Amino acid sequence: MASNKRADNWVDGLRGIAALTVVTYHLCSCFANWLNSPAIEENGSVSLFQYPFLRLIVGGRMAVALFFLITGYVNSFSTRKHIRNGDASFALLNLSKNTFTRTGRLVAPTNAALLMGWVVCQLHGYRLAALTDSFWIRVGAVPPGPTFGSAVGGLLQNLTLFWHGGVGIYDHTYWTIPFFVKGSMLVYLTLLGTTLTQPRYTKLIIVFLYLFAWSGGQALMELNIYAGMLLAELNADYGSRATSVLSRPISALMIFFGLFLASFPEEHAEWMPWSNAVNSVARLLVPSGGEINRYVISVGTAFIAFGAFFSRDARRLLSLPVMNFLGRISFPIYLIHNTLIRTILSWLIYRDSAMKEGFHPVDDKGNPKYLERGGVFTFVIVIPMFYAILIYASYMWTIYVDPPCARAVSWLSRKAFGEDDGTGLTKEEICKGTLKT
């Protein structure tokens, strides 16, 4: 498939890595949640993937932070570029349109995925998942509505109230998506307020907002949004020259340090010397009540992104066709991976137990019990199959689901903005012509 080259396609590589990291994190949460700690137990042994760097396979929080950072970067990239080129009027028009279209292109596919999850649920697609010995799989395996009316009511609630509270009935991993919408609005508001400020003061304002968010305990969204916006400012300053600003060792050290911080465990940081040392320093810097894990990982994610921005080698790696491809299917991966975990993967892992004990498993005393997962050989065969199915299904999503969603949003955008006034010119073209004259 042809590569969709863009000036910032290295960001697609980061986005693809983040999406796959979310999947591995959720798989480990299903079957090896002890990896969230830096050791098997207190004063106990350490498995291979509990060491720094290697434990990034459970770097789900790093992936979420990276998604927010990319949101801040991408959503401000185009507008800031037009502002720096002196096209302030066009930049404001572009900002207004992006506020509408980017939000629609986030909401429409998400609602399509919510609808798909609802259909699977009503067809008893999560029945086996509800019987597994994995708590993470069971908690998301909601039963179908007892009546058609209640099922439709649940769907309507999922398509509306979900966007307020972020609690998805049919997929509990969607809790971050309303925050992405809010984060985008934060970007647009900041861009609007800094449209006419001088570049140096724009950066100072963003740094101030970052520190203000830090003091307020906003480590989930705001810290990463403002870090991404600052990265967009640096891109406007340096452009393609960024890779020659810092030496190769310095940019590599930034990435290395960021990966180390992003390895900070989600639970029991005090169990290992390296994580306890980071935890002790973080306690001095994180405001009271702040979630230390998210602060440390957000800072580490910023170092990774800024290091990649200044590194020619990292950009080259992140711009490889396979990375670019993963970036383009990253949102479908995020949207459908949990549904596939609770259906196809659950069946493949628990097939033997389900075929042996049926859908009403009981122990020797006749008490209900959970289905048992397959052995090591089962996982060796099934996990690669799952990833292949996930990537293929995500690619199909970009062919059959994303385009209709994009067309619907584009149609609404044309209607809302009245782009075609009969002259055959869009408002952007008219605005550009006015600026040039």
Structural domain includes residue 416: yes
pLDDT of residue 239: 86
Tell me: pLDDT of 426 over 70.
Answer: no
pLDDT of residue 2: 39
Name the percent of the chain lying above pLDDT 90.
78
Cα–Cα distances in angstroms (integers) from residue 52 to residues 47, 132, 245, 260, 274, in the given order: 11, 31, 29, 6, 9
- Give the tens place of pLDDT for each residue, 52-96: 999 999 999 999 999 999 999 999 988 888 888 888 888 888 888
- State the average pLDDT over residues 291-297: 97
User: How many other CB atoms sit within 10 Å of the CB of residue 92?
Assistant: 18
Q: What is the DSSP string of 80-129?
A: HHHHHTT-HHHHHHHHHHHHHHHHHHHHHHHHHHHHHHHHHHHTTTTTTG
Tell me: pLDDT of 167 over 80.
Answer: no
pLDDT of residue 98: 86
Phi, psi (deg, nearest 5) at residue 362: -135, 155
Structural domain includes residue 291: yes
- State the average pLDDT over residues 296-305: 98
Structural domain includes residue 81: yes
Q: Mean pLDDT lowest for which of 100-104, 127-131, 298-302, 346-350?
A: 100-104
Tell me: pLDDT of 197 over 70.
Answer: yes
Structural domain includes residue 5: no
Question: Where residue 364 falls among pLDDT bands split at 50, 70, 90?
Answer: confident
Question: Where residue 294 falls among pLDDT bands split at 50, 70, 90?
Answer: very high
Mean pLDDT of the chain: 91
Q: For residue 101, give the nearest of 424, 433, 415, 425 by alpha carbon.
A: 415
Go through the chain and tell me how many residues it has. 437
Q: Mean pLDDT lowest for which of 254-268, 352-366, 371-385?
A: 352-366
* Angle between helix 292-310 and helix 248-262 axes, rounded to 10 deg: 160
Residues 30 and 74: beta-carbon distance below 8 Å: no
Name the percent of the chain lying above pLDDT 70.
94
Question: Where residue 6 falls among pLDDT bands split at 50, 70, 90?
Answer: low
Structural domain includes residue 74: yes
pLDDT of residue 1: 37
Structural domain includes residue 1: no
Number of domains into which the chain is organized = 1
d(CA 105, CA 98): 10
This prediction's pTM: 0.92
- State the average pLDDT over residues 147-173: 88
- State the average pLDDT over residues 219-231: 97
Structural domain includes residue 28: yes
Exposure letters 134-167 (e unless 16+ CB within 10 A, then b): bebbbebbbebbeeeeebeebbeebeeebeeebe
Helix/strand/coil percentages in the chain, nearest 5: 75, 0, 25
What residue type is 295 in one-letter code?
A: Y
Cα–Cα distances in angstroms (integers) from residue 306 to residues 74, 300, 352, in the given order: 14, 10, 48
Give the list of residues 6+ apart from residue 52 with CB closer than 8 angstroms, or none: 259, 260, 263, 274
Q: Dihedral sign for Cα 294, 256, 27, 104, please.
A: positive
Residues 222 and 294: beta-carbon distance below 8 Å: no
Structural domain includes residue 3: no
Q: For residue 223, give the nearest of 215, 231, 233, 213 by alpha carbon.
A: 213
Tell me: pLDDT of 401 over 90.
Answer: yes
Phi, psi (deg, nearest 5) at residue 368: -60, 145
User: How many other CB atoms sit within 10 Å of the CB of residue 418?
Assistant: 9
Q: Which domain holds residue 98?
A: 10-436
Tell me: pLDDT of 220 over 80.
Answer: yes
* Angle between helix 60-84 and helix 88-122 axes, rounded to 10 deg: 150
pLDDT of residue 8: 62
